[in-house]
Amino acid sequence: MRVAVLAMIAAFAGAAAAGAEEKPIALKPGPGLDKVEGHCGACHSLDYIQMNSPFLNAAGWNAEVTKMIKAFGAPIDDADARAIVDYLAKNYGS
């Protein structure tokens, strides 16, 4: 029993230390940023936006947002999806 408790404590301590090293992502300000942070950031790190920005243009960002909605079931309505795509294309399009 003690071994199991110690193992759980060690696991939580390791997870806390790993999370402490993560730097917050500061995306460019602009219309639609709140939608990106709220919808996109709810499921994954916003790092992906900066990592993919050299490769995606407006059509690419539209395809990514569509994929998140249709393939992964992201609960994003049409108006918010358009705001997200517009924001990403303007601020992180290639």
Q: What is the mean pLDDT of each run of 10 residues along the chain (94 residues)?
A: 60 55 84 96 93 93 97 97 98 92
Structural domain count, the chain = 1
Question: b/e map of 40-51 (b: 16 or more CB within 10 Å)?
Answer: beeeeeeeebee
Q: Considering the domain boundaries, does residue 53 fall inside one?
A: yes
Helix (H, G, I), strand (E, B) or coil at 50: helix
Here the CATH number for the domain that contains residue 38 is 1.10.760.10
CB neighbour class for 87 (10 Å; exposed up to 12, middle 13-18, buried from 19): buried
Determine the pLDDT at residue 69. 97
Q: Considering the domain boundaries, does residue 52 fall inside one?
A: yes
Could you identify the residue written with the tokens 């309505």?
77
Q: What Rg do the C-alpha atoms of the chain give, in angstroms?
A: 18
Determine the pLDDT at residue 46. 94
> What single letter denotes the amino acid at residue 54?
P
pTM for this entry: 0.75
Determine the pLDDT at residue 25. 83
Range of the domain at 67: 25-92
